Amino acid sequence: MDLVKALNSQYMKEELPEAKVGDTVRVHVRIKEGSRERIQVFEGTVIARKHGGIGETITVRRISYGVGCEKVFPLHSPHVAMIETVR
């Protein structure tokens, strides 16, 4: 059991964003296309914060052209570059 905790603590980020349910956030995600890498921003409202530890996730919802879109982001993923709170 200590081995699992040691592996998890190795990959966890030190600073987690203070995103609570109801906050509007911008999530900066690293997207890899072929040999290039770019950052894509997804802005919306946090509707859920689940689990804990290495598997902690937030669900962000936004309305785009009249259609609702939800994405689940793992907080400790290396693909999530930054999460900033708008309001």
| Residue pLDDT, tens place only, 27-60 | 999 999 999 999 999 999 999 999 988 999 999 9
DSSP 14: S
Let me know: does 79 contact 72? Beta carbons within 8 Å.
Answer: no
**Number of residues that this document lists for the chain:** 87
HSE of 22 in the Cβ direction (CA atoms, 13 Å)?
A: 0
pLDDT score at 8: 87
Domain ranges of the chain: 2-85
pTM for the whole structure: 0.88
Q: At the topology level of CATH, where does 2-85 sit?
A: SH3 type barrels. (2.30.30)
